[in-house]
C-alpha cells in the first residue's frame, strides 16, 4: 500500500514543462540514461520490411533511458498497456504500435536504437514497441517505448525527443525513489580502465598471449557504430602501434547467439571496422597496420544462457598478426 502511494506521488511531482512522467506497474530500478541538449533520432513508425524500417527523423532535446522492473508475472503487453494509457492521458497520440512478429522480429530489433545489455534486455521472441507524438506551442514532442522481459524481470526503454527531457524517477525495488543522479550512466561512461590500458601493458599482453579483449568499448545494442567517448584501451593500442610500426593487428568482432549466424557475422565485422576507423581517424594509426574481421557467435568466452554471459560475449578483440 505504501509502495503504491509512493508511485502515485511520483506522477504528481513537479517536472519540467511538458516532461513525460511514467508510473510503472511494478517496482522499477533505473538502469541507464543518456541526455543530449540537441540530438536526432530516427523514430520507427512502421515495421521492418523491404530491408528497412519506416522512420521519422526528429530533432530536439533527446533522452534515452531504461528501467528494469522487478516482476516475474507481468507480460510485455500488460506493461506496455499501462504505459500507453498514461501517455494517452498526457495528450499523446499513438503513431505506431507493434509486437514481435508484426514489428519485424530480429530485423526490427537490430535496425533500431536500443541501449546496450545488460541495461536494456530484449528477448527476440517477446518484445513490444510504441511510438507517439504530442503537439504543443513549441512544435511536436515524440516518445518511443520498447518493452521486453527476461524470466525474472521486465525491461522498458523510453526515448523522448523535444521539450525538456526530464522524467520523474520511478520507485525503486524497496519502494522508495531513486535520484536522477543515479541515472547519469551513459554508454561512454560505462567502460572502466583495465590493466592493458597503458601502451607497455597492451604490447606485453599482445606479445605474450596473442590477443586482448577491448572490454571498455561500447556499442549501442544492434548498432555497428562505436559509441561516442574516450576509450583507454584504444589510446593504449594506438600508442603501441605507433611505437611499433612493424607490428600489425586484426580487430575481431564477436556477438552473442541472438539471431542467425550470417547476420551476427556481418554485425561483428562492421563493429570491428568501426573500431578500425576510430583508430585511424581519432588516434592517427596507420591503416596499413590494421585489419578487421568478424566471427559472430562462433567464439564465446562465456555462456549465452545468461544476460551477463551474453554481455561478455559481445566484444571486439585485438589480435597480433603477421602479414
The overall average pLDDT reported for the chain is: 81
Domains contained in the chain, number: 2
227/165 same-domain check: no
Which band of pLDDT confidence, cut at 50, 70 and 90, is reported for residue 201?
confident
**Cβ-based neighbour number of residue 151 at 10 Å:** 6
Which has the closest alpha carbon to 277: 290, 261, 259? 290
Which band of pLDDT confidence, cut at 50, 70 and 90, is reported for residue 174?
very low
Q: Are strands 290-294 and 154-161 parallel, antiparallel or unpaired?
A: unpaired
Residue 277 has pLDDT above 60, yes or no: yes
Question: Which class for 187: exposed (0-12), middle (13-18), buried (19 or more C-beta within 10 A)?
Answer: buried
For residue 170, give the C-alpha cell: 520511478
pLDDT at residue 220, rounded to an integer = 64
Residue 102 has pLDDT above 90, yes or no: yes
Which has the closest alpha carbon to 44: 163, 132, 155? 132
For residue 182, give the C-alpha cell: 543515479
79/27 same-domain check: yes
How many CA atoms lie less than 13 Å away from 170 in the CB half-sphere?
24
pLDDT at residue 15, rounded to an integer = 36
Which has the closest alpha carbon to 111: 38, 153, 49, 18? 49
Instruction: Give the residue, 182 or 71, on which the prediction is more confident.
Output: 71
Q: What is the CATH number of the domain that holds 271?
A: 3.30.1330.60
For residue 309, give the C-alpha cell: 554471459
Distances (CA, A) of 206 to 210, 223, 290, 318: 5, 27, 14, 8
290/153 same-domain check: no
Which has the closest alpha carbon to 212: 266, 262, 249? 249
226/139 same-domain check: no
200/181 same-domain check: no
32/181 same-domain check: yes
pLDDT at residue 3, rounded to an integer = 39
**Average pLDDT, integer, range 216-221:** 76
d(CA 318, CA 103): 36
pLDDT at residue 121, rounded to an integer = 92
Maximum average pLDDT range among 219-228, 269-278, 297-306: 269-278
Dihedral, 77, 131, 227, 123 alpha carbons, nearest 10 = 20
Q: What percentage of the chain carries pLDDT values higher than 90?
A: 44
Residue 214 has pLDDT above 80, yes or no: yes
Show the beta-strand stretches assigned E in 162-245. Answer: 211-213
181/206 same-domain check: no
pLDDT at residue 118, rounded to an integer = 84
pLDDT at residue 184, rounded to an integer = 35
Maximum average pLDDT range among 50-54, 69-73, 195-199, 309-313: 69-73
Last residue of a domain, one of 136, 170, 185: 185
Which band of pLDDT confidence, cut at 50, 70 and 90, is reported for residue 221?
low
pLDDT at residue 77, rounded to an integer = 96
Residue 43 has pLDDT above 80, yes or no: yes
124/230 same-domain check: no
250/131 same-domain check: no
DSSP state of 114: B
Range of the domain at 32: 2-185
153/265 same-domain check: no
**Average pLDDT, integer, range 151-169:** 76
Last residue of a domain, one of 158, 185, 212: 185
107/210 same-domain check: no
Residue 100 has pLDDT above 50, yes or no: yes
pTM above 0.85, yes or no: no
pLDDT at residue 160, rounded to an integer = 93
pLDDT at residue 305, rounded to an integer = 84
pLDDT at residue 222, rounded to an integer = 60
Which band of pLDDT confidence, cut at 50, 70 and 90, is reported for residue 6?
very low
pLDDT at residue 144, rounded to an integer = 97
> Minimum mean pLDDT among 53-57, 58-62, 226-230, 284-288: which range?
226-230
89/137 same-domain check: yes
**Do residues 228 and 188 make contact, with C-beta atoms less than 8 angstroms apart?**
yes
Last residue of a domain, one of 125, 156, 185: 185
Q: Is 268 helix (H, G, I), strand (E, B) or coil?
A: helix
Amino acid at each position: 500500500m505504501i509502495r503504491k502511494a509512493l508511485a502515485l506521488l511520483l506522477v504528481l511531482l513537479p517536472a519540467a514543462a511538458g516532461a513525460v512522467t511514467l508510473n510503472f506497474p511494478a517496482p522499477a530500478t533505473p538502469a541507464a540514461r543518456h541526455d543530449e541538449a540537441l540530438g536526432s533520432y530516427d523514430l520507427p513508425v512502421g515495421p521492418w520490411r523491404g530491408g528497412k524500417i519506416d522512420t521519422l527523423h526528429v530533432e530536439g532535446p533527446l533522452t534515452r533511458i531504461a528501467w528494469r522492473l522487478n516482476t516475474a508475472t507481468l507480460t510485455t503487453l500488460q506493461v506496455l498497456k499501462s504505459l500507453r494509457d498514461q501517455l494517452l492521458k498526457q495528450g499523446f497520440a499513438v503513431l505506431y504500435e507493434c509486437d514481435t512478429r508484426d514489428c519485424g522480429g530480429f530485423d526490427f530489433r537490430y535496425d533500431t536504437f536500443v541501449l546496450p545489455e545488460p541495461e536494456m534486455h530484449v528477448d527476440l521472441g517477446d518484445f513490444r514497441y510504441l511510438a507517439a507524438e504530442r503537439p504543443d506551442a513549441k512544435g511536436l514532442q515524440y516518445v518511443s517505448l520498447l518493452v521486453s522481459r527476461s524470466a525474472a524481470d521486465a525491461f522498458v526503454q523510453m526515448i523522448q525527443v523535444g521539450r525538456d527531457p526530464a522524467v520523474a524517477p520511478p520507485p525503486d525495488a524497496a519502494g522508495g525513489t531513486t535520484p536522477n543522479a543515479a541515472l547519469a550512466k551513459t554508454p561512454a561512461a560505462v567502460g572502466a580502465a583495465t590493466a592493458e590500458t597503458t601502451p607497455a601493458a597492451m604490447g606485453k599482453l599482445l606479445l605474450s598471449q596473442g590477443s586482448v579483449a577491448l572490454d571498455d568499448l561500447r556499442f549501442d545494442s544492434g548498432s555497428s557504430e562505436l559509441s561516442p567517448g574516450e576509450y583507454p584501451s584504444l589510446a593504449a593500442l594506438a600508442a603501441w602501434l605507433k611505437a611499433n610500426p612493424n607490428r600489425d593487428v586484426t580487430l575481431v568482432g564477436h556477438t552473442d547467439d541472438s539471431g542467425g549466424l550470417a547476420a551476427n557475422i556481418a554485425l561483428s565485422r562492421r563493429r570491428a571496422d568501426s573500431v578500425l576507423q576510430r583508430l585511424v581517424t581519432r588516434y592517427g594509426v596507420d591503416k596499413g597496420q590494421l585489419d578487421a574481421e568478424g566471427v559472430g557467435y562462433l567464439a564465446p568466452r562465456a555462456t549465452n544462457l545468461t544476460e551477463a554471459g551474453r554481455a561478455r560475449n559481445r566484444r571486439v578483440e585485438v589480435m597480433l598478426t603477421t602479414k
